[in-house]
Amino acid sequence: MTSFDNSAFDVLVEEGILPIAEIAKKIGSNPRALKRWASEGLTLGNGETVKLEHVRFPGRVMSSLPAVKRFIDKYVTGLVET
């Protein structure tokens, strides 16, 4: 059983936590892609995996727009450094 990370939840709440489907609509992406970024992440050329910060509730995956920006920034920076 996975423990609940209160600090991650608090950060996402402060940033404006939203369901993944709503974030996907706002950024013009597919909700499945964001769920995949949260669960599996994306692998950089150096083998490091970058994941979207998120919290899971029964039947819901939630994150924030700033978390998506951090994820994309980490991924792009990792691609440039590789």
Q: How many residues does the chain have?
A: 82
| Torsion, Cα of 55, 47, 76, 34 (10° steps) | -30
pLDDT digits (tens, 9 = 90+) for 36-78: 999 999 998 889 999 999 999 888 999 999 999 999 999 998 8
Cross-strand pairs, 56 = 61
DSSP 32-61: HHHHHHHHT-EE-TTS-EE----EEETTEE
- In a domain? residue 1: no
In a domain, 37, yes or no: yes
Structural domain count, the chain: 1
Domain assignment present for residue 64? The answer is: yes
d(CA 74, CA 82): 12
What's the pLDDT score for residue 57?
84
- Encode pLDDT of 23-38 as tens digits: 999 999 999 999 999 9
pLDDT for 24 = 97
| Domain hosting residue 49, numbered range | 6-81
CA–CA separation, 57 vs 26, rounded Å? 21
